[in-house]
Chains A and B, each alone.
Chain A
Amino acid sequence: MAKIVYQRPKSLKEAVFHYCPGCGHSIVHRIIAEVIDELGIRGITIGVPPAGCAVLAYNYFDVDMIEAPHGRGPAMASAIKRSLPDRVVFSYQGDGDLAAIGIAESFHAANRGENITIIFINNAVYGMTGGQMAPTTMLEQKTTTSPLGRNNKLDGYPVKVSEIFSQLQGVTYLERCMVNSPANVNKTKKAIKKAFQCQINGHGFSLIEILSPCPTNWKMNAVNSCKWIDEVMSKVFPPGVFKDDIPAATKTAEVDS
């Protein structure tokens, strides 16, 4: 009998992603769904999709979801988690959603140490609206609202969310990952699993920043987009674990299991 080595996660609906070819959202959706399956938490998970490309995430995740107004995901997720402390609550946000219009919501949810998980997709550009400058757009990077490249004197600097948020006492686990190669996708999945586990164990706020390709708005093909993450983006936004305050005892237990 043939052995199944790869199949659609149960927490992902039978729907075709609307995302552009080469977009990182579909990869991240899939690995979140895999993690939900592996942890067996489909029935107790509540997701909060953002305004942005991932606004239709509820068409793909087979878990309860409530759409938040632009940037307000962490406010909603905080309230849901406080109301239903035994559920697993995650907010899924883009760079505009988290680091521009919703910076207060994200910052203070983190600072309160809300026991939620934020999945933060950083693609250095506003995707859904057609490629405008994001808070994470890098210096010199061309977008439709920085046509000559981001100019620090006029447009300021890219916001380094992981570096900033790791300073907050309320944050328990914070890692920056990439989804531009199979190895990095696996690493990202591990990070997401760790973050969800951190929440399930009641250890508090976790955020996984994911450098994710946006070939359409970067005006590159999928392969070059992945290369660009390695060669350019990861130099400004270096991957790694920025904060890990998960108590040591649980860490060992996880390794054993």
Chain B
Amino acid sequence: MNKVLMSGNFIICEAAIRAGCRFYAGYPITPQNEIPEYMAEHMRKAEGGIFIQSESEIVAINMIAGASAAGLRAMTSSSSPGISLKQEGISSMAACELPGVVVNIMRGGPGLGNIRPSQGDYFQATRGGGHGDYRTIVLAPATCQELADLTMAAFDLADKYRNPVMILADGMMGQMMEPVTFKKPKPRIYNKKFMLQGAGSGKSKFIRGLILDPIDMEEHNWKLARKYEVISKKEPRHEEYNINNAKMIIVAYGTAARIAKGAIKRLQNNGMNIGLFRPVTLWPFPEQQLRSLSAKVKNYLVFEMSTGQMLEDIRLALQGYADIRFHGRPGGAVPTPAELANVIARIYERTVK
């Protein structure tokens, strides 16, 4: 497969269709409008592909639930305020153990905020987001190639664990163009017994989230918790960059990690040894992997395009074994690598030397 130059939002769509996604429902919201636009054309061209422009975000997520129950790979997308509306359905899908992919191209918040890239939805994404005791797997791509690979992986993970999976990117990732190679998707593994397609001549079944008996509901919660435990052990992914000999490690994800990489390269030329730890899965957070680094490196700087949300997971992971500093740019502000390099250099001078 040859390399093609595409923008992030289109890449997500193309990867989804190639991964066998055959149902998309969504509602326009900036900065992810290219997704429903691409899907309107290309999903309807794909064999058996269904595209619906829904009347609301709430409807879109519930359509995904319906299509997923019917046995299709299904996806919806939105940006921050729209993702808040989808939480009812995400909680419901987690309860009913329905697979599905939700894309969040984050923008500035809270409230309507603005349409600039931001990372303020980390808590919402990694803590479930809706009501009740559940988790969603959260993937945070930092390159266009990763947008393609992780979108395909999202469908596999959703099926494997019968749980919603979120792609958490931001307006920068959605709008930027990079060359990308679409890899061959893995064949779908999903048991037909989980699909609701009519009873035929057999026993009827039902899918539900309402379990009135508290003992049964408790057991359902523990069952989900055991599943999340397995995911936490098996699925954390991260990237390490320039870790050997690093005196300080920047922890950042998505667009923030790209900026951090640029800053680190600049500072290398000035003789500063700085590494990057980039979580690729935000839930499950790669906490063991980060903690093991703290035996060697004692200085950490967390950089997020928020007032500090992933910071809490890093504190939990490092458990007081290291010094943790934070730099944040919330509300849609995106620093340049040069600007971030200045910040890092100041902290490096104070803490490392």
> Which residues of A are in contact with B by a Cβ distance under 8 Å?
42-46, 48, 51, 55-56, 58, 61-69, 72, 75-80, 82-84, 87, 104-105, 107-108, 112
A84 engages B70 (CB within 8 Å)? yes
Nearest A-chain residue to B64, judged by Cβ: A79
B89 engages A69 (CB within 8 Å)? yes
Nearest A-chain residue to B198, judged by Cβ: A44
Contact pick for A62, options B58, B62, B197, B199, CB 8 Å:
B199
Q: Which of A43, A75, A76 has the most CB of B within 10 A?
A: A75
Give Cα distance in the complex from A105 to B89, angstroms: 14
Give Cα distance in the complex from A51 to B62, angstroms: 14
Number of interface residues of B (CB under 8 A): 39
The majority secondary structure among interface residues of chain B is mixed
Q: For chain B, residues 201 to 221, give those with C-beta under 8 angstroms from any C-beta of chain A.
A: 201-202, 204-210
Contact with A along B261-292 (1 / 0, CB 8 A): 00000000000000000000000000000000
A82 engages B198 (CB within 8 Å)? no
CB neighbours (8 Å) of A78 from chain B are 52, 63, 66
Give Cα distance in the complex from A45 to B22, angstroms: 22
A64 engages B59 (CB within 8 Å)? no
**Distance of A169 from chain B, by nearest CB (Å):** 16
Give Cα distance in the complex from A67 to B63, angstroms: 13
Contact pick for A72, options B52, B62, B202, CB 8 Å:
B62
Given contacts A68-B62, A77-B66, A84-B197, 16 further A-B contacts (CB under 8 A): A46-B197, A55-B210, A56-B210, A64-B198, A65-B204, A65-B206, A66-B66, A67-B208, A69-B89, A75-B62, A76-B66, A78-B52, A79-B63, A80-B69, A83-B50, A87-B197
Give Cα distance in the complex from A90 to B251, angstroms: 50
CB neighbours (8 Å) of B54 from chain A are 75, 108
**Cβ of B324 < 8 Å from any Cβ of A?**
no
CB neighbours (8 Å) of A58 from chain B are 206, 208
Give Cα distance in the complex from A44 to B199, angstroms: 6
Give Cα distance in the complex from A48 to B67, angstroms: 13
Give Cα distance in the complex from A112 to B207, angstroms: 26
CB neighbours (8 Å) of A48 from chain B are 66
Give Cα distance in the complex from A108 to B199, angstroms: 28
28 contacts across the A-B interface (CB closer than 8 A): A43-B200, A46-B196, A58-B208, A62-B199, A62-B204, A63-B199, A64-B204, A64-B205, A64-B206, A65-B206, A66-B65, A67-B96, A75-B54, A75-B59, A76-B66, A79-B23, A79-B25, A79-B64, A79-B66, A79-B67, A79-B70, A82-B67, A83-B66, A83-B67, A84-B198, A87-B197, A104-B56, A104-B58
**Cβ of B117 < 8 Å from any Cβ of A?**
no
Contact pick for B59, options A63, A82, A105, CB 8 Å:
A105
Give Cα distance in the complex from A93 to B210, angstroms: 16
CB neighbours (8 Å) of B55 from chain A are 104-105, 107-108
Nearest B-chain residue to A63, judged by Cβ: B204
**Cβ of B92 < 8 Å from any Cβ of A?**
yes
Give Cα distance in the complex from A62 to B201, angstroms: 11
**Cβ of B71 < 8 Å from any Cβ of A?**
yes
B62 engages A43 (CB within 8 Å)? no
CB neighbours (8 Å) of A46 from chain B are 70, 196-198
**Distance of A80 from chain B, by nearest CB (Å):** 5
CB neighbours (8 Å) of B52 from chain A are 78-79, 82, 112
Contact A108-B198, Cβ < 8 Å, known A77-B66, A83-B50: no
CB neighbours (8 Å) of A107 from chain B are 55
**Cβ of B75 < 8 Å from any Cβ of A?**
no
CB neighbours (8 Å) of B92 from chain A are 69
CB neighbours (8 Å) of B23 from chain A are 79, 82-83
Give Cα distance in the complex from A80 to B207, angstroms: 13
Nearest A-chain residue to B91, judged by Cβ: A69
Contact with A along B39-67 (1 / 0, CB 8 A): 00000000000101011101100111111
Contact pick for B207, options A44, A66, A87, CB 8 Å:
A66
